[in-house]
Amino acid sequence: MVKQRLSLGLVLLTATSMFAAANCDNGDTVVSVNVSYDSATASDVQSSVKTLHITISPKSGGSPVSTDIDIDRDSDGGITNPAYKRVTVNGLSGMVDVTVDAKDSGGMTLLTETVTETLVEHGAVAAFVKFARMPAAMPDAGTGSGGATATGGTTGSGGAEGTGGATGSGGAEASGGAGEAGGAKGSGGSAGNTMAATQSSSGGNRGTGGA
């Protein structure tokens, strides 16, 4: 298969060169438009095309030249037309755009391709136009979305502040004897409470004398 394609390519190039030489001898300026189809992305165009509309437009000066190619097919639907079309463009020279529109039987354009070539007056150039579509972009590998950020736990509230112990009450009045010592200072009380606990006696009121 590869050898057959290479051989076909060599035949086309040789034929193009021969026709170019012949047209140079005639003094014509010729563009040999070679049309092909990408089997991976434009096979539908190849199977549905009915007409090829060729337009050769100079980049500067001169009028465009256009022509049509009617596509012939065999019983299996294969295209039987030659792969190239010689278009005479006398009067044009310099850079030109070679545009080919593939149209179906209803005249709708299936696909358009354009190549740019440089013409030399009274010379010939081959323009290779291949119908192809850009392959669909492959989707990026899915990157998993990050999990939700865990929120920090609420800060624990501080324990309630301990209240100071009640100041000890003075001892009961002793009958005839010295007053008892004052009650013990309440636990947890602030240092200021000790002042209340110590009076002029050692905690209780001074006892009154005996009868």
At 105-146, the pLDDT tens digits run 999 999 999 999 999 999 999 999 999 998 877 776 655 555
3-state SS track over 37-61? ECCCCCHHHHHHCCEEEEEEEECCC
4 membership: H or E segment, kind and range? helix 2-26
Q: Is position 156 within any domain? A: no
Q: Is position 182 within any domain? A: yes
d(CA 200, CA 195): 11
What is the total count of domains within the chain? Answer: 2
Kindly tell me the burial class for residue 158, based on how many C-beta atoms sit within 10 Å of its own C-beta (0-12, 13-18, 19 or more): exposed
pTM strictly above 0.85? no
CB atoms within 10 A of CB 41: 15
Contact by Cβ (8 Å): 81, 69 = yes
Q: Is position 87 within any domain? A: yes
Helix (H, G, I), strand (E, B) or coil at 150: coil
What domain range includes position 204? Answer: 165-211
Q: Is position 155 within any domain? A: no
Residue appearing with tokens 């030109």: 96
Q: Is position 137 within any domain? A: no
Contact by Cβ (8 Å): 32, 56 = no
Residues 42-69 have a mean pLDDT of 95
Domain harbouring 114, CATH code:
2.60.40.3540
Over the stretch 61-107, which tens digit does the pLDDT of each residue have? 789 999 999 999 999 999 999 989 999 999 999 999 999 999 999 99
d(CA 26, CA 18): 13
| Residue 62, pLDDT score | 84
